Structure 1
Amino acid sequence: MRILVIGAGGVGGYFGARLAEVGHKVVFAARGAHAQAMREKGLTVLSPAGDLHLPEVQILSDLAEPGTFDLALVCVKLADTEAAGELLKGIGAGPGTAVLSTQNGIEGEAILGRVLGRDDIIGGATYISAHIKEPGVIEHVTPHARIVFGELSGQETPRARAILEAFSSAKFESELVGDIETQLWRKFVLLAAFSGACTLRREDCGAIRDGEGRKLYEALIRETVAVGRAKGVPLEEDFEGKVMGNIDRLPAAMKPSMLIDLERGKPLELPWLSGAVARLGDELGVPTPASHEVAEGLADKVKGSA
């Protein structure tokens, strides 16, 4: 399968490298020092699942004729989603290209759909902690790496089954589901709460789990679940408890990507995480004081700072 990975950070770099490892033709859309290091030294992945080095990596901007792709994995930050869609339009990826969003939040699919057309889009959620350790090097932290994906229509299509077959040979877990919206919200509840609590308090998982930050984390979970249910998402009755306990199984040193971005002075995905919960809560009449606390407490960091 010919695969375009838009964004070669922790998520895109890891999954793209694992797909290339088993023989798929992977092209990365990357930029800056990371892209230059990949050109010169290839791409290295440090991982509990086994380290990997790809000595030669194809960068999209280096190709004279990009051609068509069977699959485009959109792995950019949410602020760059529209630009990723425009990139796909600009290179003429072709009507046969499936566009799978692996982004955080619950709005990436809709943004891509407005640019490319909803029928081209496949929803996806990833479960992985990985980041760029240095240019050309991806560090995978957690023992697991998983993609859950599905057609927005809920149907099991030939293209979705082909993607599952391609994923199944690589060193990560994959699952094709019929109700991807629910799966996106299941991850969103966890991510919005974990990233919001850790980033506002500047604390890692262990500090949040064992300290005062746990109260904030649990309040953020309750609010996000309430907003999801108000939108009609069928989250099970005991879902809050299940998610609250998840933090006890994570590595103490684990940090959400939003906290890592804050520490590095990079822009935050806040408007699409706790900010989205606060915004949707206001629209639906659901009180979200904890989400507002996070959104307002980090508002001056959204555009990044040193």
Structure 2
Amino acid sequence: MANVLLVGMGAVGSIAAYTLQRNGSVVSVVARSAYDILTNEGFNLESCDYGNILNYKPNFVFKSISDAMKSKGPFDYIVITTKNIPDIQPVENLIAPAFTKNTSIVLLENGIGIERSMFKTFPDSIVISGVTLIGTTLYGKIVKHFSQDIVSFGPFINPNIEKGLQIEKAKEFTKLYSNEKNKIEYNENVKYFRWRKLIFNGAVNTTCAITGVDSGRLDMFGGMHEVSVPAMKEIVEIAKADGVELPNDIINFMVRLDDGEYAPPSMLIDVRRNQYTEYKVLLGNALEIAREYGIKTPTCDILYHLCKVIQMRIMESHGKFVLPEKRPLIDENYQIQFKE
């Protein structure tokens, strides 16, 4: 019986927690805003995979990582499903109180290159990639899960430790997460699946967040082909330089992914809610890799900097910094001072 700590009890995290618990793992979750609901009432899951589950509660609920570790640690796995926003709260710093040398980290998150900071902070860690294709939303205490949970798991290979052990742990977690309802696979080609998903997230997700329209309107209004498709082509080139050859029809597939729907991608939803976005892991990390290989990315560069402006606007509204009443002159070399 695996002892699992799950961080990020949102729409994806709720289904992940229920899945692992249903399959026999002991699941502790860290929840701050939803702590009272999860301890008193639980979530109602309206799931295409599992049916209607009333008042679902994880085995244990904690307000902090430290509390979870003191009470139920050490953990076999730390599963991270929280939004990946390193400019606001680096995930590796968040989970540090619960990490041990026998703990494997599962990144059930979006983005490319997200393992780099983990290996830097935890040089001898086993880090497992989980690339999920799932349709799910959380409204209050109701989780609406409307498309099958499909996940590819595989190891981010850490050169500091034995490869076979990393493969073994990734396969073990794949079995822990698999059941007759979902569609789970083990695949060691981690980079392929992450670059493939990034074609949409780095190009369409970002453009929708900037323009304020869903992917259907983006297509109908001309932004898909004039902005997102050129960005997709740049991401394909970065992936190729990074050793991943994507299929020839990948761009058309992503353009037509939401056909028949006016679907707001995750970053657009975040912006509409005035919440922080994952622009750094969805585009910033890809551009860092592009610089390493000397790939030109004019469209993606513009998207990235516009997303950064939006993120700064949201940070200011949340009180992360305060600007002076009078705009500083350029020769004053003013630097924004962020609050802790």
Q: State the TM bucket, normalised to the shorter chain.
A: 0.7 to 0.9
**Structure with greater helix percent:** 1
Q: For 1:278-289, what aligned pairs fall within 5 Å after superposition?
A: 278-289=287-298
Determine the structure 2 residue equivalent to 1:148: 152
Distance between the aligned counterparts of 2:174 and 2:124, measured in 1?
20
Q: Is the 8 A contact 1:193 1:221 kept in 2?
A: yes
| Residue from 88, 94, 97 that aligns with 1:90 | 97
Q: Against the structure 1 CA distance between its residues 196 and 27, is the aligned structure 2 distance closer, same or farther, given a 3 Å change threshold?
A: same
Max Rg structure? 2
Distance between the aligned counterparts of 1:53 and 1:94, measured in 2?
35
Letter in 2 for 1:161: K
Task: String of CA shifts for 1:2-29, please: whole Å, max 9, x gaps.
Answer: 2211111122122112222343211111
Distance between the aligned counterparts of 1:170 and 1:74, measured in 2?
23
Determine the structure 2 residue equivalent to 1:103: 109
Letter in 2 for 1:78: N
Worse-superposed segment, 160-169 or 78-87: 78-87
Worse-superposed segment, 5-14 or 57-66: 57-66
Distance between the aligned counterparts of 2:115 and 2:28, measured in 1?
21
Is 1:14 matched up with 2:15?
Answer: yes
Distance between the aligned counterparts of 2:81 and 2:156, measured in 1?
18
Q: RMSD across aligned C-alpha pairs, in angstroms?
A: 2.6
Distance between the aligned counterparts of 2:14 and 2:233, measured in 1?
33
| Residue from 293, 310, 313 that aligns with 1:301 | 310
Letter in 1 for 2:114: G
SS of corresponding position for 1:273 = helix
TM-score for the superposition, normalised by structure 2? 0.79
SS of corresponding position for 2:148 = coil
Q: Which runs of 5+ in 1 are unaligned?
A: none
Determine the structure 2 residue equivalent to 1:203: 213
Distance between the aligned counterparts of 2:175 and 2:201, measured in 1?
28
Q: Which runs of 5+ in 2 are unaligned?
A: 158-162, 319-340
SS of corresponding position for 1:267 = coil
Q: For 1:179-198, what aligned pairs fall within 5 Å after superposition?
A: 179-198=189-208
Task: String of CA shifts for 1:126-181, please: whole Å, max 9, x gaps.
Answer: 112333211x332334x222111111237573322221221112642211002112
How many equivalent pairs are there?
A: 300
Q: Against the structure 1 CA distance between its residues 87 and 276, is the aligned structure 2 distance closer, same or farther, given a 3 Å change threshold?
A: closer
Q: CA deviation at 1:55?
A: 4.0
Q: Is the 8 A contact 2:6 2:79 kept in 1?
A: yes
Distance between the aligned counterparts of 2:263 and 2:284, measured in 1?
22
Distance between the aligned counterparts of 2:144 and 2:278, measured in 1?
21
Q: Is the 8 A contact 2:23 2:176 kept in 1?
A: no
